Amino acid sequence: MNLISEAEHRRVLETGDDVPEQRPSFALPLNAVGISGKTVWVRLPQGLLPFSARLAVDLAAERRGIHMSRLEEVITSLHEQPFVDLRAYALALGREMVVRQQAASGMLSLHGRIPRVRKGVVSGRSSLDTVRISVTCRFWHERGELRDETMLGVEACHITACPCTQVYNRELFHRADDLCPMPTHSQRSTTRLEVQADSDAFSYDDLLGCLEEALHVTQDLLKRPDEAEIVLKSHRAPQFAEDAVRETARVVGRKLGGKLAPATRVRIESLSLESIHIHDVTCSLECTLGEILAKLESDTHASS
């Protein structure tokens, strides 16, 4: 038995208060209100790919809440549209989110994976690997316009060999002039590179290229000669987590310095899953591209 008539149901829906628009009992503005742990499906050139999303807008003091359904409406409205890259999707989603919520500012972040085919350095065999990518956008109103700032991020897996034990063994066995790298412990590591992207001057491939040049990047399919080569290289050029971050910054300066403005923000973070310790090691850097370029220039003058 239906205790509520259809007419009464419609009347209440049409005349009832919009609760999010009510004034809160304690009227403080909130910095970020939204949803997280949301899976969005984005149509990219690589195919229809899933990304984990976090979306939020600010909330004025006089409003009790945001309209959560409007976030889902924006996501659904973009589902069938193709996008040239993840940045384009994020900007479309974020700008529409802020407009529909009548917010002064907003932010969103997307994290996911794309396929990457690499060739074994010796065998030439193809390895289907996974690369983690991300985009973080911030939106705000300025002089009547909705402005935005975007950071693109790529994370690579790599191997690091500790130089400390090598130095010890070189001294212990009197092998200071030996070109053969000394034994040491090695660890699986990840390094994430994020660069401010306010234009289409670079892509995820550019960021990944920086990581692949600076680090001993690993892959899933390795034939025996490929394994030997990557282990040998990592021991010939051993790296702390600190070295991984600094070498990545050096390559970013060389490869992106001519493409991006000196004020471009750069973030690099490395995580070393230590093989002989219970703890892990982490290291990070946040600076501008101009600071990296200044160091490159000073080193050039010092060596000339």
CATH class of segment(s) 28-303: alpha beta
Q: Residue 190 in contact with residue 270, Cβ under 8 Å?
A: yes
- Which amino acid, one-letter code, is at 48? L
- Cα separation, 187 vs 164, in Å, equals 13
Whether pLDDT at 216 is above 90: yes
pLDDT band at 4 (very low <50, low <70, confident <90, very high): confident
Task: Please list the residues that pair with 168 across neighbouring strands.
Answer: none
Average of per-residue pLDDT values in the chain: 93
Helix/strand/coil (H, E, C) string of 82-110?
Answer: ECCCHHHHHHHHHHHHHHHHCCCEEEEEE
- Cα separation, 85 vs 151, in Å, equals 13
Whether pLDDT at 108 is above 70: yes
Residues 6+ positions from 126 with CB-CB distance below 8 Å: 117, 118, 119, 120, 221
- Cα separation, 6 vs 2, in Å, equals 9
pLDDT digits (tens, 9 = 90+) for 277-296: 999 999 999 999 999 999 99
pLDDT digits (tens, 9 = 90+) for 25-45: 999 999 999 999 999 999 999
Residues 6+ positions from 292 with CB-CB distance below 8 Å: 249, 250, 252, 253, 257, 266
Delimit the domains of the chain by residue range.
Answer: 28-303
pLDDT the model gives residue 283: 97
* pLDDT mean over 191-198: 96
pLDDT the model gives residue 213: 98
Tell me, rounded to whole angstroms, the distance of Cα 263 from its chain centroid: 19
Whether pLDDT at 182 is above 80: yes
Q: Which of 214, 194, 202 is nearest to 132 (CA)?
A: 194
Q: Say which range, 6-15, 114-123, 281-290, has the weakest mean pLDDT.
A: 6-15
* Strand, helix or coil for residue 82: strand
* Strand, helix or coil for residue 304: coil
pTM of the model: 0.91
| Helix (H) / strand (E) containing 211 | helix 204-214
Pull the structure tokens for residue 206: 């550019």
Distances (CA, A) of 45 to 114, 151, 164, 206: 11, 20, 45, 17
Distances (CA, A) of 144 to 52, 104, 140, 173, 198: 31, 11, 10, 70, 19
Task: Please list the residues that pair with 286 across neighbouring strands.
Answer: 267
- Cα separation, 38 vs 52, in Å, equals 6
Tell me the CA end-to-end span of the chain in Å, nearest whole number: 91
**% of the chain residues with pLDDT over 90:** 82
Q: Residue 295 in contact with residue 257, Cβ under 8 Å?
A: no
- Cα separation, 29 vs 40, in Å, equals 28
